Amino acid sequence: MNSLFLLRGLPGSGKSTLAKNLSENGKYPVLCIDDFFTDDITNEYKFEFEKNHIAYKQCEDETRKQLENNCLKVFVANTFTMDWEMEPYIKMAAKYSYQLFVLTVENYHHNKNIHEISQEQIVKMAAKYKVKLY
């Protein structure tokens, strides 16, 4: 059965690194909103808040395209701090008959985020973070 993996966690937790490893180093697609803000040539990341909604839409569209193309495994690594952020992906998994896995990545390794997100903002994100255990 085809699988959709949603990797969620706070900035710096290692979502992207884990997704790349699970994807067998690129054998399967790894998608995230950070792709929108990363220059393809220089690999430089430049976040623009006013374009964040476009980045989310692009990630959803690319995920849908992969599912429509019957890709065996698809990995999406975003913060997904709130359930509504995962909802479009949950619906896509059901629509295209994909098995859904939601993986929460924790920061036991005390890694710093590479996007210069302030500790204050991370604390705010953590306060909104909900985990569904049952």
Tens digit of each residue's pLDDT (9 = 90 or more) over 54-71 = 999 999 999 999 999 999
Choosing among 3.40.50.11540, 3.30.56.10, 2.102.10.10, 3.40.50.300, the CATH entry for 3-128 is 3.40.50.300
Could you tell me which residue, 35 or 113, shows the higher pLDDT? 35
Q: Would the pTM count as exceeding 0.85?
A: yes
Helix (H, G, I), strand (E, B) or coil at 98: coil
By C-alpha distance, which of 33, 89, 97, 88 is closest to 70?
97
By C-alpha distance, which of 123, 99, 133, 128 is closest to 12?
123
Q: Is 106 within 8 Å of 13 (Cβ atoms)?
A: yes
By C-alpha distance, which of 46, 50, 111, 105 is closest to 78?
105
| Across 36-62, average pLDDT | 91
Which pLDDT does position 47 carry in this prediction? 85
Which pLDDT does position 134 carry in this prediction? 83
Which pLDDT does position 71 carry in this prediction? 98
Q: Delimit the domains of the chain by residue range.
A: 3-128
